[in-house]
Structure 1
Amino acid sequence: MSDTTARLSPKLSLVSVVTFGLAYMAPSLVMVIFGVIAAASAGTAPTAFLVATGAMCLTALSYAKMARHHPLSGSAYSYARKLIGSPAGFLVGWAVLLDYLFLPMVAWLVQAVYLNAQFPVLPVWAWLLLNAVLTTLVNVVGLTLTDRVNKLLTGLAVFLVLLFVAYCLVHLGGHPPHSYTAPLWHSGRSLGGVSAASAIAAYSYLGFDAVTTLSEETRDARRTIPRAVVLVVAIGGALFAVVAYIMQLVHPGGVFDAPEIAGYTLSVEVGGRTFADWTNAAGIVGGFASGLAVQLSSSRLLYIMGRDGVLPKRIFGVLHPRTRTPVLPLLVTGAVCLAGLNISLATATSFINFGAFLGFTVVNLCVIVHFVRNRGTEGTKVFGHVVVPALGACVTVYLMTRLSAAALVIGGCWLTAGFAHLLWLTRGFRRATPEMSLGDLAADAGGGAKATTGS
């Protein structure tokens, strides 16, 4: 049974929100994509990760500013509605849905591929369904259980990554590197190569923005969410860069027999095949935590859009009266996994970044709009509210241009479908875009948002 009067309850602490963000990014991802980044950067993978961290921090600062001014759970969708207008907000939310709706499927598909490789007794499709069902059950039961499970799994995933680093350091003790600076910079690298590698590495940071979808479930959201957004990028980026540096010391240069499995190859080199199989567990454990966090944030965006009435309210805009979770949006995101039964991993990952980078760009623009509207009353500074978000928007637009033609075509078609839906909702813009009456969401000293229903 669902209830249109139930509200999201603020339960999460700063540690909980940061852990969700790190789980979304998946700490073990650096081991998976190290070979690709090292090959593209001619053996300067940690530098590529550091550049990517700096670039994504520009947008993270914009999300932090918006979360402070508008502690709502809709992320880019809510910010665009407030500052650019309801129609623009709807289109941004629709674009971001392409990312949020299908990313759980991608997380489960990656997890299924890993599990099938290590435990082939079950086919990929069976592992996919099993992961989707387990993740959905945990999220449906309630936020408290999800928080506890996520902390446990993310902590275990980080421990396994650090264990791999420890084995690498022991290996380096017996095989000292010729240079400790070459992984950062050497004569054989090129600015173009490092830039291209940084663009690839930037995709590893997708998810830091997802913590803003938890604003209404976070205690003291006006302070906690901005700090969490920046911390997720900083901690995740530092972890990626340090692990990549250690791995680059073990394997100098960017030449690999198979860059896609370089992480596994290095695990075999430093600890043997049994240890390498165990390090794969970091990907499996981290993958489940990532799927948990991804589905959590996706369901919240669907709920907020349903609550506003731009998606069917009876399906998406209600919470379970006891668990205070959006059960039907969770079931919808769980059901989307069925699309992954007949789709390749390469195809699945080709289009989800379109919505993410479009959302990033719009949030950067929202900061500038906020500055223009409030420059005479809030005393906001030009550098932090114009220069930094403008640079962030340039970075995210550049990253969009690096997407495949298929991703751009699918993204364009998705946006066109969203515009058609908006025309239908507004009867050709003769009616206002549906919008919830939000009132003063931060009346209690910037605490968890207190939403009212009705639109």
Structure 2
Amino acid sequence: MSTIKMKRVLTTPALIAFGLAYMVPLGIFTTYGQVTVLSNGHLPIAYIITLAMIFFTALSYCRMANKLPIAGSAYSYVQYTFGGKIGFLVGWAQILDYLFLPILNYLVLGIYLHDTFPFIPAYVFVLGALISVSLLNFIGIKLINSVNFTLIIVQLIFIVLFVFLAFTNVDHSPETMLKPLQISPHDFSGLLSGAAVLCLAFLGFDAIATLAEESNDAQKSLPRAILWTVAIAGGIFLIVSYSAHLAYPIWSDLIGKEDIASLYVVRRVGEISHLSGNFMYNFFQAAYLTGVFASAMTAQTSVSRIFYAMGREGVLPKQIFYKIHHRFRTPYLSIIFVACFSLLSLVLELSLVVSMISFGALVAFTFVNLCVIKSYLGKVKGSTGTAIFKYGLLPLIGVLLSLWLWTSLDATAMIVGLIWLAIGFIYLVYLTKGFKCMLPSIGHNELNSIIKD
């Protein structure tokens, strides 16, 4: 058993930076065209709906992070609430989301940079990003935190400039300013479909919970960071989407161009601002790609901590996953494993990877909400009505909304996700010798030691 522990160096601002880096503030442009067309030009309203939906699950993560401030996020919460077998399957499903997000980021970096520098093969950029991300993770979370702040600042500078130019160079008549916010009954179904797609933009807030054992006051800092991250990201998405619609109000022109719609918008802002050449386009490329790099870093950090938690439990080989580097105090073998798995980015197609990501996150969202109901309802002091509202109704809404989002998953995502779960179930049968044995786990004394450390 590892006796070396990770460094508790992360404050609430550092955790917020980690969460924002994971989500990518400029990630709004990834789905801009698709959701603008789905919502008939009402992307800001779709973001408001999404933010309202995700709020309930974020509250449940806050409650569980306060109760169990340990690495592992949803895996650990379900493990100690519903037992090892269900916890293992939820953790296994969650791994699917976390493992493929770095791959997605490496693919995007390779595609965009190869397009800019066509004489360099895409795999060179993929390998360069993979190696540099892994080295930064290996050296330590404190360095990751410093890099995150820098990369987020680059994105925020672009966002501030984009919003300023959009607002100062458009018609300020009430008709123009209110058009993105005016909806009619026939827009509603498209808004809901768009809101389901936009939930992908918030999938990273649970990554903050994986850093519980590297937070200096986890029971307070984790819940604060989760809520602040959701609020800040939601605010950025709303402001940028509204500004983009002001600058490019004829959304119907984007039909058939959804994948590259953001480039049209960015170029339009540059044109109406009379900036020279492709300044905004080039600035956007640089800011967006630094955001993707930051997301790759934080995604690898998060999944390595989940592997660390599962290795500590003994459901994954301890000699590999429950190892902390004596100098850098990072789960270095888990990091190396994730890096090796990410080599799949050299052979996988982008569309296939995208379809795999949301399955595991929705499993985690559903069960974290259920954890709150089982852990708190009827077990806390105070008014019965208040308890039912906080620990019953709110997480139940989160459960129902998470299940509703499953209806938006495409067939490929469902097939891959179910196959992945089937593999996990077979491995669970092996671990428990046909369910005749208990899953290995850490004892209550060690758990208490981790929480109180």
Sort the TM-score into its range (normalised by shorter chain).
over 0.9
- Aligned partner of 2:13 in structure 1 is 15
Q: Work out whether residues 114 and 283 of structure 1, in 8 Å CA contact, stay in contact via their aligned partners in 2.
A: no
- Structure 2 matches for 1:438-449, cutoff 5 A? 438-439=444-445, 441=447, 449=451
**Structure 1 stretch 209-218 or stretch 327-336: which is displaced more?**
327-336
Any idea what SS the aligned residue of 1:71 has?
A: coil
Q: How far did residue 256 of structure 1 move?
A: 2.8
Equivalent residue number for residue 217 of structure 1: 214
> Which of 381, 385, 399 is the aligned partner of 2:387?
381
The yes-or-no answer on 1:394 pairing with 2:391 is no
Aligned equivalent of 1:435: 441
Say if 1:24 and 1:294, in contact at 8 Å, map to a contact too.
yes
2:57–2:369 CA contact under 8 A, matched in 1? yes
Conserved 8 A contact 1:161-1:279:
no
2:123 pairs with 1:125: yes
The share of aligned pairs that are identical, in percent, is 36
Question: Structure 2 CA distance, aligned partners of 1:377 and 1:412?
Answer: 41
Q: What SS does the aligned partner of 1:122 have?
A: coil
Matched to 1:20, the amino acid is: F
Partner of 1:268: 267
Q: Deviations over 1:258-298 (max 9, x none)?
A: 12222211221121423212211111111111111111111
- 1:283 aligned onto 2:288: yes
The aligned residue for residue 318 of structure 1 is 323
Deviation at 1:96, TM superposition (A): 0.5
One-letter code of the match for 1:109?
A: L
2:412 aligned residue: 406
Equivalent pair of 2:372/2:391 in contact (CA under 8 Å): yes
Q: List aligned pairs for 1:54-203, cutoff 5 A.
A: 54-172=52-170, 178-187=175-184, 190-203=187-200
- Structure 1 residues 237 and 307: alpha-carbon distance in aligned structure 2, compared to 1, 3 A threshold: same
Aligned to 2:32: 34
Structure 1: tracts of 5 or more residues without a match: none
| Count of equivalent residues | 444
Give the Cα–Cα distance (whole angstroms) in 1 for the partners of residues 250 and 202 of structure 2: 24
Secondary structure of residue in 1 paired with 2:445? coil
1:242 aligned to which of 239, 250, 254: 239
SS of equivalent residue, structure 1 residue 192: helix
The 1:108–1:230 alpha-carbon spacing in structure 2 relative to 1, beyond 3 Å, is same
Q: What is the CA-CA distance between 1:127 and the residue it aligns to?
A: 1.1
1:255 corresponds, among 252, 274, 277, to: 252
2:230 is matched with 233
Q: How far did 1:140 drift? A: 0.4
After superposition, the Cα gap between the structure-2 partners of 1:450 and 1:327, relative to the gap in structure 1 and judged at 3 Å, is farther
Distance 1:139 1:438 in 2: 30
CA contact under 8 A between 1:307 and 1:316: conserved in structure 2?
Answer: yes
Distance 1:342 1:256 in 2: 34
Which stretch shifts more, 9-18 or 104-113? Answer: 104-113
Name the CA distance, whole Å, in 2 between partners of 1:392 and 1:372: 15
Higher helix fraction (1 or 2) = 2
Q: Which residue of 2 aligns with 1:207?
A: 204
What SS is found at the alignment partner of 1:201? helix
Which residue is equivalent to 1:332? 337
Per the alignment, in what secondary structure is the counterpart of residue 172 of structure 1? coil
CA distance in 2, matches of 1:417, 1:138: 31
* Correspondence for 2:422: 416
* CA positional deviation for 1:169: 2.1
Q: Under a length normalisation based on structure 1, what TM-score does the superposition of the two structures give?
A: 0.93
Aligned AA for 2:451? A
Gaps of 5+ in 2: 272-277
Residue 108 (structure 1) shift: 1.5
| Alpha-carbon distance in structure 2 between the residues aligned to 1:107 and 1:409 | 22
1:430-454 Cα distance to aligned partner (Å, 9 max, x none): 21111122537567xxxx7357xxx
Call closer, same or farther: CA 1:372–1:274 in 2, change over 3 Å.
closer
